[in-house]
Copies of this chain bind each other. A is one copy, B any other.
């Protein structure tokens, strides 16, 4: 077995990461043993450890990857021109969360909950997440500025405050749909629309 190509190494990494995801979702981060992951990956202990030096590193990679994966899906929505109005925008973001979950064969929402929990005791993970969410909020603030120009929300709105509220809605959607399992992207969006529109205002 001489030198393996970088391509193959990358594939192996993904193979292991997928095995890990699958276990993590079913059993949680700590109830999952390395043996579980090793068995699910169809590799040997040594092989897995040659790709990830510790369980913590594997957890980190799993969570980071899901963060990155989500970003890639949400990016187009943020860059769309013209930008969709707030409630439609939120609906699409929520749908991206839901779709990501369904498509990749693993539940992004569950991984998110596990990751947040883990971030409490893992410095590196906590920082990674902080940076991620702060950056994401900055992108939302850009969207808010856009909406102000488009007259979707009033000019005096504070970009920062609104972006915080929007992020809260998105993260809360993740939690709520993971725990109660009975919330759709559409319901979230309609709820926002109804909150926004007063009596007599014309719908969407």
Contact = CB atoms under 8 A, between A and B. Distances in A.
Chain copies in complex:
4
Interface residues of A, number: 66
Nearest to A199: B154
B28 A120 contact: yes
Interface in A137-185: 137, 151, 153-158, 160-176, 178-183
Interface in A94-112: 110
Provide the main secondary structure of the chain A interface: helix
B116 A120 contact: no
B168 A176 contact: yes
A187 B199 contact: no
A96 to B, nearest CB: 15
Interface in A21-36: 25-31
A178 B197 CA distance: 31
Contact of A158 (B180, B182, B191, B200): B191
Contact of A116 (B153, B164, B168, B179): B179
A81 interface: no
